Amino acid sequence: MSEFPKLKNDLMLRAARGEAVERPPVWIMRQAGRYLPEYHEVKAGRDFFETCRDAEVASEITIQPVRRYAGLLDAAIIFSDILVIPQAMGMKVEIKEKTGPYFPDPLREPSDIPRLLNDEVDVLKELDWAFKAITLTRKKLNGDVPLFGFCGGPFTLLVYMTEGGSTKLYRYIRTWIYKYPEESKAVLQRITDVAVEFLAQQVVAGAQILQVFESWAGEIGPTEFNEFSLPYLKQIAHKLPQRLRELGQEPVPVTIFAKGAWYALDALCSEDSGYDAVSLDWLWDPAEAVKINGGRKTLQGNLDPGVIYGSREIISRKVEAMITGFGGGKKNYIVNLGHGTQPFFDVDAVKFFLEEVHRIGSK
């Protein structure tokens, strides 16, 4: 889009597309947010979704880590949440200060399905604030780094829509898939359709790369993953380029993060998955993942976020082992943590981690 400033650092896009790079690019899942004092300052106790819906505030929060870690981060990710899709589908969602997401009226029985907005959800209308925030952020970034758009994976969103919030037991989602498999699939399909349109419109608005967060994939086994997650993840990746063409857009790289779905790595790395990059959690030995991938996709990850609590010496050693394990990082590799930041992270430890990634990755 010609009205946007020219991109000065395209390492992330090149690595995601499988091109050779001088050093592995790095970003951190949930790099904007609660571990940053400047986040709390700007948020000033306001409601989470209120901050997302204010383009000025959302863009400021998105850029905060890029500014604090100037020259060290190779991408920004728009400040929003995966739960905006259920909201667009007509569900009420709140974020509670201490406990996280809360749905006052979750889907508990198939008879609850008609409560979802019927027919086609008007994504442009329901999520117009998200597109405005993306466009403003892309302009404000001034081409320093590319901007990630994202959405939740359909299964993960169905988890929240049925559970009504975070859970340890996954009681209601299990009830749905084992008692009402066909009804579950009907809702998964509706989420998928909204996700495709949401991702496509994020690109129109200015997102240059995308990630799908199937964060709770690891709560189900391979058989259920192949039935209730993978088909919808594949649909998203396959339908997106077509929808982008219709909208006059070039395709952008798309990453899949199916946390815990170790058994699915080969499937996600296959040509037919449709994704450009596959993000790994810290349960993977990098060399093992590299072997399974066989150079087909770009891998992303996978430091245990807990390493940030470690000594400087340990952080260095773990970064070195990770980058070496992924083959040195000059091709098919993006550095990230194995999951998102934690509110207790020390901002200087995060900086040290990023500096070590640059030092070791440039060797």
Maximum Cα–Cα distance for the chain, whole Å? 59
DSSP one-letter string for 42-77? HHTT--HHHHHH-HHHHHHHHHHHHHHTTTT-S-EE
The number of residues that bind ligand 1CP (CB under 6 A) is: 23
Asked whether position 340 contacts ligand 1CP by CB under 6 A, the answer is: yes
Output the smallest distance, CB 184 to ligand 1CP, in A: 19
Output the smallest distance, CB 132 to ligand 1CP, in A: 16
- The span from the CA of 227 to the CA of 230, in Å, is 7
Output the smallest distance, CB 307 to ligand 1CP, in A: 17
Asked whether position 35 contacts ligand 1CP by CB under 6 A, the answer is: no
Which residues are registered as beta bridge partners of 210?
A: 149, 254
- The span from the CA of 3 to the CA of 347, in Å, is 34
Interface stretch with ligand 1CP, choices 23-31, 243-251, 288-296, 324-332 (CB under 6 A) = 23-31
Q: Which of 95, 117, 321, 349 binds ligand 1CP (CB under 6 A)?
A: 95
Nearest CA to 175 among 162, 194, 192, 165? 162
Asked whether position 336 contacts ligand 1CP by CB under 6 A, the answer is: no
Three-state SS for 36? coil
Three-state SS for 140? helix
Asked whether position 101 contacts ligand 1CP by CB under 6 A, the answer is: yes
Residue 126, φ and ψ in degrees, nearest 5 = -65, -35
Give the nearer residue to ligand 1CP in terms of CB position, either 150 or 326. 150
Asked whether position 29 contacts ligand 1CP by CB under 6 A, the answer is: yes
Give the nearer residue to ligand 1CP in terms of CB position, either 81 or 356. 81
Say which residues have a Cβ less than 8 Å from residue 219's Cβ, sequence separation at least 6: 159, 170, 173, 260
Q: Which residues bind ligand 1CP (CB under 6 A)?
A: 29-34, 48, 77, 79-83, 95, 97, 100-101, 150, 166, 213, 215, 339-340
